[in-house]
Structure 1
Amino acid sequence: MSTNGTGTSVDLNSLLLRESEQVEWKENVADIDDVVATICAFANDWSNLGGGYVVCGAAEKKDAHGFPAVELVGLTSARLKEVEGKVLTACRDRVYPGIVPLVHEMQGPTPDKRILVFIVASTSHAHTFRRGDDSGKHYVRLSRETREARDGILRELLVRKGDVEPWDRRICQSATTNDLDLVAFRDALQRMNVFDPNRGIDEYLSDTQSLSPFVPPLCGRDPLTGQLRPRNYAMLLFARQLQLHVPGAYALLSIYPGVDRSEPHAERHELAGSIIEQARRSIDLLGVQSHVAFDKTNSQSPNALKYPRQALTEAMVNALAHRDYELHEPTRTTVFSDRIEISSPGSLPTGIRVDTFQEGKATSKWRNQSLAWFLNRLQLAQAEGQGIPTIIRSMRDEGCPAPSFEVTEANVACRLPAHPRHALAREYSSIEEAISLGEFSRAKDRVDALLQRDPLNHRAVGLLTDVALALADVTLVRGYVAEYRTHLNSLPPLVLTRLADALTLHTQPTQNDRDEARRLYLAASQGYVEEREVRKLAQGLSRSGDDHAAVEFLDKQFRDHPEWRTTPSLLQVRGNAYIGMAKQCARTARFSNQLSAPAKKRAWDDCRRFLAQARRDLELALTTDDPNLKEIVQKNLDFAIKQQRAAGADRGRSPQGKSHSSRR
């Protein structure tokens, strides 16, 4: 450590441990301009570290482990004086405003050499340095390098140093107060509860009075003409034709039906008008995406929002409030089937770390503070620093995947993934589309993939039956039922019914198909069945050979839902089931030689009773207004009456053709 006459101390070892933005090591000082540019960068203090050190006569090396180390080589007396003189002259004559760094000499590696250190403090100015005949340029320190400040970095540097006002506070040189929509302005003031009807609206368009200490007056005076002109933030909020004055201040919203832009059809909305109008229109368009997917089998959270509306609103307003309006690029929102991407022109405001921003932990910092203040007061934006955490929290609370944020020098993009349940819904729609287009192999492959992930996914099982029927390949259903027979009772009744239908409705059902279907129908009949499915399930039980179970199932439904007792379609199905039961009794009475006479009598009695019940049901069902159903009921009724007569005649005959009375 060494101390000069001013009391300033320098420790080369401690300098080596400092962040690289603060120290520049020069071995031989081959280029004086490089030293001056670095001094200028330290004075501009882009990273807000308080300045820096340029050490001449010390080389930065690597140790055996690859870590930074310093090798002191020193400068001769003549070279030291030469470097010091040239650097200070350049700092005075070619840096604007001029800089006078502190100069410090330190003992070198040998008595004939010294180390020269320029100590540079941060200043309140944005300094330029002119190399040779070039015009002056601003320099900043970025990590280990000194670079020319350009574009957004230059603008931010000038704003920080107070040489230029932030863009949203500057006067719009192409506009006058006549370009403002005073009706929209008054409505905004009323919503903010700051409008005084006793004051004229023109009084609010002041260059001396502001609505809040946090924002400047809405207007300012042109320094040359004295003309009253609105500031840029006032134009963004209330301009009649904003895009004439701020070319990039518009938004594009595109909606694609698939997962990328290769789709042949899409929607495109070009949103002009003020930022308030763009925000409201964008929120309305995105609000359509915030719909619900319902899952009856999920007792914990049957309703799942595709996107939480609060996340959509915050992401959209953030993109409009914090974008760089000096770039002539629109704010872009792209809606895909599985995600929404919102891109805001311009990188992050300087001083915000990308990693903390992506985690929602960044220190709040406005690029357009005046604009953001108004949007907050108009209830369009969250309070300062709450936007990104709100997006992350609302997505998490709804069970959606975490949002992601991509930061580049050109833009900041927010990506909101849809709720996983909606991804399944898209897969279901894709399979249904493949079936409708006759692409059965593709549909089968996708159904297989779904069932591999979740064998009891009831929607996928239903689609499996559709594919099986479309392919006329009942082996798909047979294989599934055989593999998961012990777990099928957990499926909803409607899905069990569809599986059973697939086994019984193909062209040549086997007895095993009917037995499997009967088990499935019986399992379905034990659960809750909606009215529109009751008829189908009862018909399936009869088709599988269990008319008795069909009647019991319908009787239970009529007890639980008395209002269904007069439903013609259900009465028709029960009437048919009674006819089936009567047929079975008649066959037993006619062709079973092992039955005793009393047993045969009971069979005939049951046959007549079932036919009488069938006749009652079918006569009640004739009240239907459906002509097709009425025709079917009439045919069934005629058949029941005919069977009644036949049963009455057969009851009086013995198996040998003799009457019971003559035999007795």
Structure 2
Amino acid sequence: MALPINIDALLNGTAVEWERIEFKEGWNAEEVVQVLCAFANDFHNWGGGYLVLGVKTSGGRPILPPQGLQPEQADAWQRKLLELGYRLRPAYHPISEVATINGKIVLVVWVPAGEMRPYEAPLSLAKDEKRMSPYIRIHANTIEAKGNLKSELYSLANRIPFDDRQNGSAPLAELQPILIQNFLSEVKSNLAAEALRLPLDELGRRMQIVRGPQEAPRPLNVGLLFFSPAPARWFPQTQIDIVHLPQGRGGDQIIEKEFKGPLGVMLRDALAYLRNNVVTQFTRKLPEQAEAERYSNVPYPALEEALVNAVYHRSYEEREPIEVQITPEEITILSFPGPDPTVNMEDLRAGRAVARRYRNRRIGEFLKELELSEGRGTGIPKILESMKANGSPEPQFETDASRTSFLLRLPLRPNPKAGPRVSPIVTNPVTPSKSAGIGNMLEAGETLAPRVAPKAFQQLKVSTASLILSACLEPRRSSELLQILRLKDRSHLLSNYLNPLMKRGLLARAQPQSPKSPTQCYIITDAGRAWLSTPPSSPLG
């Protein structure tokens, strides 16, 4: 069964953190059952982990290419995994995939956090062994939980993080298969090839974003946040508000931008706007030096990490948006609530803090797979390092005594009096046609569709196609596209704009089985994303 992760990235430690992966060269049933128990208990709310069989290690890291397994070994070990699942109390069954890496077979076992923790495993698999004990992961080690650790584990029994809970209000159909398929394609999962052919219930269960009885499956909150076209329907104020105050907080001029949609889309659109409209590069000629100094008003890596952290760590139970304020002196990012009580603020300001528990374990998993987040405990150090390397003042981290909010201040480094301004930043730019919100494209003067198309209209302009596909980076209803293109006739929109793009596989209906659904949306495909990267110069005939 294909897993919703890229196996190559997993083995190289770029998909999840090393602490969440256990490599085994061969089969040791006792060790395997204890590893399964530890990952299922998810002591730190990391989201479980992965057991990879058929891989040697050196210093805790895999030796690649892997040693590999024989096909009959992989089949036999999968059957043994089923047997071991019944040895846990309560019973627990992971999900596995037989993968081929560099021509070698490995068995990858995904062990998501269990719904019925704490789990216990036998101390040994001897025939007369009856003693059971819980196991947990501490760093990269599987240990028996004793004393205070055991008490703490048992206290977590009924505390499932919000993002990993079933949503009792949203229907299963709120999850859009095309959004799931786009995600799986982006992370290069083998499951992408099956996504649109599988029933939504089965696809969701394999993604671990659907739970519940077969007769009444329910989406998990994390599934709605990433794969619903409008998460704010279920979690009000799931949005990023950017407020630009060019004259400062006492001035009259205010520019406001609002970003909504699936978390990945919302976050990327907001980052693209900030990179294209806020981050600016300057040069300064230094005396007695041939090379001029180049720096930014704010380093983009710090800004990116700060906003990703806010999306990752905010509470989606609180009806408060993430607010980004931009003044001539600083950029502030406000989110709710504040840091976990286990985090020491002095350690956080020094870049040394590591939370004992993570508020949104599943959101962190998805952000990491999308390469928007690097890993636990890396965000604040990256912000500090980026600001220092840019010559910027130190960032400031603020919260109140009750930790109801978290405010990050990024002071702007001013434009030097000597030396021209170079703008906007051009290192690895994010172009509006690929990522920016549609409002930015309209402001940039993007060519719009003709208000009244001639009867002989047969070709779709590249600029118009780019506009539609960029708008559909998040699901769009036909009413929204009519407004964006400044058209009035829905049938005209469909026949002359949307159908040509769908015919070429660049655009798709979010509900392909119900083309006339009143909630129908349109979403870009992988082919459409590729086309946006290198659009042709001639119209689409």
Q: TM-score, normalised by structure 2?
A: 0.45
Higher relative contact order (CA 8 A, sep 6+): 2
* Larger Rg over CA atoms: 1
User: Normalising by the residue count of structure 1, what TM-score does the alignment of the two structures yield?
Assistant: 0.37
